[in-house]
């Protein structure tokens, strides 16, 4: 019976510990001392200081399984072997053993421990670089010959050519060892030898590939198939880097104590162990797929891209949130947000219109909790963060998809208010103006608009990005001119924190009216990501007792998790509902209003008569007031003072 992925991880760590290696814990997915990259993208990344000469506190022989994230692969997820999140099995020799030990141990692990058929293994070595004065790595080739011979396997070697000449030939019977140029079989931080600065270490590497018999060569990857072909017939499962040289002004010189840096993809080795070119059938991904089949009643074979995206993206998000990266609009947080948005979008196609993350994330946590206890220890906080993000995005997604469908079928002009954009939208064509309209008016993410276009085979204009950026610049300029950097409605920006405080602003205004009287009306506002500020009509100082009562009401409405609903209704109807509006503002015949509560209110039936608060407003807002209490926060008034005659000012925060 084949080893599963969890068993392979344990066996690898145990095997190398028996060879004198010390196991170290995984590093966080966010590098702690490397500002050049957002995420830990390889197993060797946390080890770079030691490969460059620092002394490792655990000695010269190190082994681990490092969780990694490569966000640049996000758009490729959906085929049978790409994932954004993966584990890299790694072992290092820091000036200790070298090629013979490394290649022998890895070959033994693959064939004797994991049980891979050696007849399905192929290896690559460095062909040499005459210009750099670095010789062909015949040492590694000779070791591989011995290892295959011990298994009674022919191991002919061949120089396969280079990428520039299109790899002139494929694999012939008996060939096992393939020599490639520096683009394939050389490692340094700067790339090929010619790009390396003086003092930079580097060296050749040797990769191991597994052959899948039931994957036929696809000519789009080249005329000939060979181990480094990207068609999927061969899959790389491990790479041993021999860091043996240092670049000098006179060329390359041998390092006195060369290093070994090995990395092997756990998921890939697990796929080879079950002889499946579909990586999503391994034990670290298939339970998620089975969970999705159970939730939807649909089969994986009929919905592979959607289920693969969900399985990979939610798994990545669980680990990122565990490592302290919460969804946001900044750097790492935006990657989490985008992963979750893509997963939710694909779940929508499967018929899952709510509670995706609440149902899928526990499956992932259960798979990893024994090997990574931090996953279990942070389970409640992780799941709560994912659920909050899903609630926040669901309303945007549904509204955005409806508007997308409407807009791509419109021929001609979309009329907007005087002075605003008049978008020219051609039938079945996505323009920069359409992308901007969906983003600016409905909060629909740019990347989802482009993905929808691709899914529906709708052409995207070549210059869409240029037009989109131009419209964004014009919008910012209008905002700066009108409010000195303040968005319409007093918002500094449309970030997550500003959005939360904007919603709290609505609750505060209603609470002020309930405590101080119906004479209270808004006379100005300014909301940033740090705090909200409201100016309101009131003739005297707010007492400490009144402040406490106001805070109590706001926090009560937050705890009740009321829905926050946007409706577009006739202005006269909004006025009859006594909806709050800006002082002296002029409104069109149809207006946007936001209502808070009651508990059973929906977009189809907002139940205005029972709402806690109704205001003329263009947004943005959270979808439920409970989102204001993330990470245990509560509403607090920090300052109350006079603003002008008959007008008071309150500043408040969520902390």
Asked whether residue 392 falls in the same domain as residue 435, the answer is: no
Q: How many CA atoms lie within 13 A of 42 on its CB side?
A: 14
At residue 69, the pLDDT reads 94
At residue 74, the pLDDT reads 82
* Domain CATH for 578: 3.30.980.10
Asked whether residue 316 falls in the same domain as residue 418, the answer is: no
Handedness of CA 184, 188, 191, 195 (dihedral sign): negative
Handedness of CA 451, 457, 458, 459 (dihedral sign): positive
Task: Give the distance from CA 395 to its chain's centroid.
Answer: 20
Residue spans of the chain under pLDDT 70? 33-35, 165-166, 409-428, 440-443, 475-490, 492-493, 582-587, 631
Residue where one domain finishes, among candidates 339, 371, 404: 404
- Residue 98's nearest CA partner among 204, 186, 227, 248 is 204
Beta bridge mates, 535: 524, 649
Beta bridge mates, 201: 246
- Residue 74's nearest CA partner among 463, 459, 468, 447 is 447
- How does DSSP assign 418-441, residue by residue? TTS--EEE-TTEE-HHHHHHHHHH
Asked whether residue 200 falls in the same domain as residue 103, the answer is: yes
Asked whether residue 610 falls in the same domain as residue 544, the answer is: yes
At residue 396, the pLDDT reads 72
Question: Would you say residue 71 lies in a domain?
Answer: no
At residue 462, the pLDDT reads 86
What are the E-state strand segments in 531-600? 532-537, 564-570, 590-596
Can you tell me whether residue 319 is helix, strand or coil? helix
Asked whether residue 377 falls in the same domain as residue 308, the answer is: yes
The number of domains in the chain is 4
Question: Would you say residue 178 lies in a domain?
Answer: yes
Q: How far apart are CA 424 and CA 418, in angstroms?
A: 15
Q: How far apart are CA 17 and CA 37, in angstroms?
A: 30
Q: Is 59 left (phi over 0), alpha (psi -120 to 50) or beta?
A: left
At residue 582, the pLDDT reads 67
At residue 480, the pLDDT reads 43
Residue where one domain finishes, among candidates 275, 299, 317: 275
Question: Would you say residue 45 lies in a domain?
Answer: no
Report in angstroms the alpha-carbon separations of 303 from 78, 297, 298, 398, 588: 10, 11, 8, 21, 46
* Domain CATH for 134: 3.30.930.10
At residue 412, the pLDDT reads 42
Asked whether residue 528 falls in the same domain as residue 594, the answer is: yes
- How does DSSP assign 230-250, residue by residue? SSSSEEEEEEEEEEEEEEETT
Q: Which helix (H) or strand (E) holds 413?
A: strand 412-414
At residue 560, the pLDDT reads 94
- How does DSSP assign 255-315, residue by residue? EEEEEEEEEEEHHHHHHHHTT-S-GGGSTTTHHHHHHHHHHHS--GGGSHHHHHHHHHHHH
Residue where one domain finishes, among candidates 466, 483, 500: 483
Asked whether residue 331 falls in the same domain as residue 457, the answer is: no
At residue 645, the pLDDT reads 72
Question: Would you say residue 78 lies in a domain?
Answer: no
Question: Would you say residue 140 lies in a domain?
Answer: yes
At residue 375, the pLDDT reads 94
At residue 492, the pLDDT reads 67
**Domain coverage including residue 394:** 286-404
What are the E-state strand segments in 505-634? 522-527, 532-537, 564-570, 590-596, 613-616
At residue 309, the pLDDT reads 95
At residue 78, the pLDDT reads 78
Asked whether residue 94 falls in the same domain as residue 210, the answer is: yes
Can you tell me whether residue 203 is helix, strand or coil? strand
Question: Would you say residue 41 lies in a domain?
Answer: no
Contact 650, 582 (CB under 8 A): no
Question: Would you say residue 166 lies in a domain?
Answer: yes
Q: How far apart are CA 471 and CA 417, in angstroms?
A: 16
Asked whether residue 112 falls in the same domain as residue 252, the answer is: yes
Asked whether residue 222 falls in the same domain as residue 316, the answer is: no
The number of helices, as runs of H, and strands, as runs of E, in the chain is 18, 21
Can you tell me whether residue 9 is helix, strand or coil? helix
Q: How many CA atoms lie within 13 A of 58 on its CB side?
A: 16
Q: How far apart are CA 648 and CA 640, in angstroms?
A: 7
Q: How far apart are CA 356 and CA 640, in angstroms?
A: 43
DSSP code of residue 566: E
Question: Would you say residue 308 lies in a domain?
Answer: yes
Asked whether residue 640 falls in the same domain as residue 563, the answer is: yes
Asked whether residue 121 falls in the same domain as residue 259, the answer is: yes
At residue 482, the pLDDT reads 35
């Amino acid at each position: 019976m084949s080893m599963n992925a969890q068993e392979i991880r344990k066996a690898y760590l145990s095997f190398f510990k028996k060879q004198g290696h010390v196991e170290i814990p995984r590093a966080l997915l966010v590098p702690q001392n490397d500002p050049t990259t957002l995420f830990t993208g390889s197993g060797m990344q946390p080890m770079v200081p030691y490969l460059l000469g620092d002394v490792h506190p655990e000695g010269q022989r190190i082994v681990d399984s490092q969780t990694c994230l490569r966000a640049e692969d996000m758009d490729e997820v959906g085929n049978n072997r790409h994932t954004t999140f993966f584990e890299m099995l790694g072992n290092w020799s820091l000036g200790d053993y070298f090629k013979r030990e490394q290649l022998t141990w890895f070959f033994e692990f693959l064939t004797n421990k994991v049980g891979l058929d050696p007849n399905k293994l192929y290896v690559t070595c460095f062909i040499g670089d005459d210009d750099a004065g670095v010789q062909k790595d015949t040492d590694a080739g000779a070791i591989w010959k011995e290892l295959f011979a011990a298994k009674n396997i022919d191991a002919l070697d061949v120089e396969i050519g280079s990428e520039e000449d299109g790899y002139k030939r494929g694999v012939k019977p008996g060939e096992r060892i393939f020599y490639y140029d520096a683009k394939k079989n050389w490692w340094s931080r700067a790339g090929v030898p010619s790009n390396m600065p003086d003092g930079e270490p580097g060296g050749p590497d040797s990769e191991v590939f597994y052959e899948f018999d039931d994957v036929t060569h696809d000519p789009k990857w080249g005329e000939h198939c060979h181990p480094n072909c990207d068609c999927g017939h061969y899959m790389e499962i491990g790479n041993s880097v021999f860091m043996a040289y240092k670049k000098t002004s006179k060329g390359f010189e041998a390092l006195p104590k060369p290093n070994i840096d090995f990395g092997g993809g756990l998921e890939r080795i697990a796929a080879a162990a079950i002889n499946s070119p579909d990586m999503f059938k391994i034990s670290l991904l298939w339970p998620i797929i089975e969970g999705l089949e159970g939730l939807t009643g649909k089969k994986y074979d009929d919905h592979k891209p959607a289920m693969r995206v969900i399985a990979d993206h939610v798994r990545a998000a669980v680990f990122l949130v565990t490592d302290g990266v919460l969804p946001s609009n900044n750097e790492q947080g935006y990657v989490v947000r985008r992963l979750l948005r893509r997963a939710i979008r694909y779940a929508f196609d499967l018929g899952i219109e709510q509670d995706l993350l609440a149902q899928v994330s526990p499956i992932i946590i259960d798979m990893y909790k024994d090997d990574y206890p931090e996953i279990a220890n942070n389970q409640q906080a992780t799941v709560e963060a994912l659920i909050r993000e899903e609630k926040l995005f669901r309303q945007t997604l549904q509204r955005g998809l409806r508007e997308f469908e409407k807009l791509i079928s419109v021929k001609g002009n979309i009329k907007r208010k005087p002075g605003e954009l008049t978008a020219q939208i051609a039938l079945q064509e996505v323009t920069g103006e359409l992308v901007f309209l969906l983003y600016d008016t409905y909060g629909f993410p740019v990347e989802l608009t482009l993905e929808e276009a691709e899914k529906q085979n709708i052409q995207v204009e070549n210059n869409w990005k240029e037009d989109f950026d131009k419209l964004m610049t014009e919008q910012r300029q209008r905002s700066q001119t009108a409010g000195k950097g303040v968005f319409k409605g007093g918002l500094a920006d449309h970030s997550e924190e500003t959005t939360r405080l904007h919603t709290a602003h609505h609750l505060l205004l209603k609470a002020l009216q309930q405590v101080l009287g119906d004479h209270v009306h808004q006379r100005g506002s300014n909301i940033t990501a740090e705090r909200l500020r409201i100016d309101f009509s009131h003739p005297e100082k707010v007492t400490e007792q009144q402040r406490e009562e106001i805070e109590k009401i706001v926090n009560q409405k937050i705890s009740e998790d009321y829905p926050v609903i946007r409706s577009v209704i006739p202005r006269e109807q909004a006025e009859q509902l006594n909806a709050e509006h800006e002082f002296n503002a002029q409104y069109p015949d149809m207006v946007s209003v936001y209502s808070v509560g009651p508990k059973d209110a929906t977009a189809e039936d907002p139940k205005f008569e029972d709402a806690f608060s109704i205001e003329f407003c263009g947004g943005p807002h959270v979808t439920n007031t409970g989102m204001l209490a993330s990470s245990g926060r509560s509403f607090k008034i920090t300052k109350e003072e006079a603003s002008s005659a008959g007008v008071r000012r309150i500043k408040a925060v969520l902390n």
